Amino acid sequence: MLAWKWDITSAKQLTQGREPTGQLDPQTWAGMLYLIRIDHEHAASVNLDEPLIAVPIPDVGWLIVDGWHRIHKALTQGVEKLPVIVLTAEEELACRIFGGEKTQARR
C-alpha cells in the first residue's frame, strides 16, 4: 500500500502474545476498503478479537497492514471497536520489505 510493503509473517511474530495498544473504529477506515481485495468467504470466518496490526508512517500517522478482512466484517456486523497493535518504528523497519527510505530518521 502506498508503494510500501511489509512482511506480515514477521509482523505477526513480533506481536504474538502482545496486548493491543489500543482500539480503532472500523468506520474510520471504511473509505480505504476499495483499495483492498476482500475475499468475502474468508472475511466471514475471521476472528474479530485478533488485533489488527498497524505501522507508523513518517509524516503521515499510521497504516493498517494486517486486518482488512476484520475491518470489513466489523463494518458488516456493526462492530464499533477493534483491537489494534501499532508496531514501533524499529519494528516497522524490521518488517518493511520495501518503500520509503529505509535509512530515514524516525520521529
Q: What's the one-letter identity of residue 64? A: I
Structure-block grid coordinates of residue 16: 504474538
Residue with grid cell 476498503, as numbered in its chain: 33
- The strand pair at 22-24 and 52-57 is best described as unpaired
- What pTM was computed for the model? 0.87
Residue with grid cell 535509512, as numbered in its chain: 103
| pLDDT single digits (tens) 53-90 | 999 987 888 999 999 999 999 999 999 999 999 999 99
